Amino acid sequence: MRRCGSLLSAVAAGSWAGLLAHDPITTRITYSREIIRIFEKRCFSCHGEGGAAPMSLTKYEDARPWAKAIKEEVLERRMPPWGAVKGFGVFRNEEALSQEEVGLIADWVEGGAPEGEQKYYPPKISTDGLPPTNLQGNRLLVKGTVRTPGAVRLIGLEVAASSDLASVHIVAEQPDGSVEPLIWLRNFKAGWKRQYEFREPIALAAGSKIRVEPPARASFAIFLRAD
């Protein structure tokens, strides 16, 4: 039954290639050994049972029909979605999949996407996902524009959206008028909660302002330290 459901969803998504391929197995990389461990860290937070994404990847028979699409999504770096435009603000936890992880996934798919032996499955999988951050301390909630409480260093942000955010900029404006880009959220989906840690703390003089443009139906918390 399960297999039937996933085949149907693969057909719906147009993954014919994945369905028709009775590819010969030409790789030693397997779902049960390498791939499920990468997915656990990077994908299951959304592609778990009942997650934000349309399909679960936590079982081989559910993931297999999506193999070709998975390879494409990770090579194009569309998955896992970061939710922010690269280059506008610089983040420590930006690199969602390492080059090595992308390579393993691509080689697994090209090699026929085998399941591998049962004994290699991890004893237990978790669905927390996403690279960890070290964000803690004071939080400043921003809606529209707020003034910072004195001279501060910004450490990162937490974003949670109750509706989709097509495009939202958050910037800091120093008292001298210069503007620091903090983050540009794009295609950030309802239900996501994400932390972004700046690569280097951003120092703002007393009297600076933080602005959300345009004001959005979401919660933006800025983590900061007093300077």
Q: Are the C-beta atoms of 1 and 88 separated by less than 8 Å? A: no
Of 33, 34, 36, 47, which lies in the binding site for ligand HEC, with binding defined by CB under 6 A? 47
Q: Cis check for the bond before 80: say yes or no (omega within 30 of 0).
A: yes
CB 138 within 8 A of CB 181: no
* Sequence-separated (6 or more) residues with CB below 8 Å from residue 27: 107, 108, 110, 111, 112, 114
Which span (76-84, 147-155, 158-166, 210-218) binds ligand HEC, by CB under 6 A? 76-84
Taking residues 187 to 206 in sequence order and writing x for each that binds ligand HEC by CB under 6 A, - otherwise, the string is --x--x--------------
| Residue 64 in the binding site for ligand HEC (CB under 6 A) | no
Nearer to ligand HEC, 97 or 212 (CB): 97
From residue 113 to residue 132, the character string flagging contacts with ligand HEC as x (rule: CB under 6 A) and all else as - is ----------------x---
Chosen residue from 19, 23, 37, 53 binding ligand HEC by CB under 6 A: 53
> Which range in 63-71, 117-125, 138-146, 203-211 contacts ligand HEC by CB under 6 A?
63-71
Contacting ligand HEC (CB under 6 A), which of 6, 30, 45, 56? Answer: 45
Residue 54 within binding range of ligand HEC, rule CB under 6 A: yes
In whole angstroms, what is the distance from residue 212 CA to residue 172 CA?
A: 9
The closest of 150, 62, 175 to 113, measured between CA atoms, is 62
Residue written as tokens 């007393």?
A: 206
Structure tokens at 67: 């193999």
Instruction: Assess contact for 172 and 209: CB atoms under 8 A.
Output: yes
Write out the residues near ligand HEC by the rule CB under 6 A.
13, 39, 42-43, 45-47, 52-54, 66, 69-70, 73-74, 79-81, 97, 129, 189, 192
